[in-house]
Amino acid sequence: MRMEIHEQACRGCRMCVEICPTKVLTFDEEACLAKVGKVEDCIACLSCTYLCPSGAIHQEDYPRVKNFYRDLEFCGRMEKFL
């Protein structure tokens, strides 16, 4: 997966750094900006992306959760419970 933080959008609030469960994001004290560290540790929970007040975090090529009730295969598999 790929992950980027838009430097001009980041306000340095550190919320993304604090929420990340696998410590992928670090904080550059000098520039007062969040930085992407070990991207290989990212589990793509997307908490940082949802939390960022300025929408500065962008991820690509990550496993997206499928929407159960809109997915044909899932609907088919759920049939026996309905």
Q: State in angstroms the smallest separation of the CB of 4 from other proteins.
A: 17
Cross-strand pairs, 58: 4
**Block residue for tokens 């598999």:** 77
Residues 5 to 64 in contact with other proteins, rule: CB under 8 A: 21-22, 38, 40-41, 43-47, 49-50, 62-64
Q: State in angstroms the smallest separation of the CB of 60 from other proteins.
A: 13
Q: State in angstroms the smallest separation of the CB of 45 from other proteins.
A: 3
**Cα dist from 64 to 35, 41, 71, whole Å:** 23, 16, 13
Q: How many residues bind other proteins (CB under 8 A)?
A: 31
Strands 33-36, 25-28: pairing is antiparallel
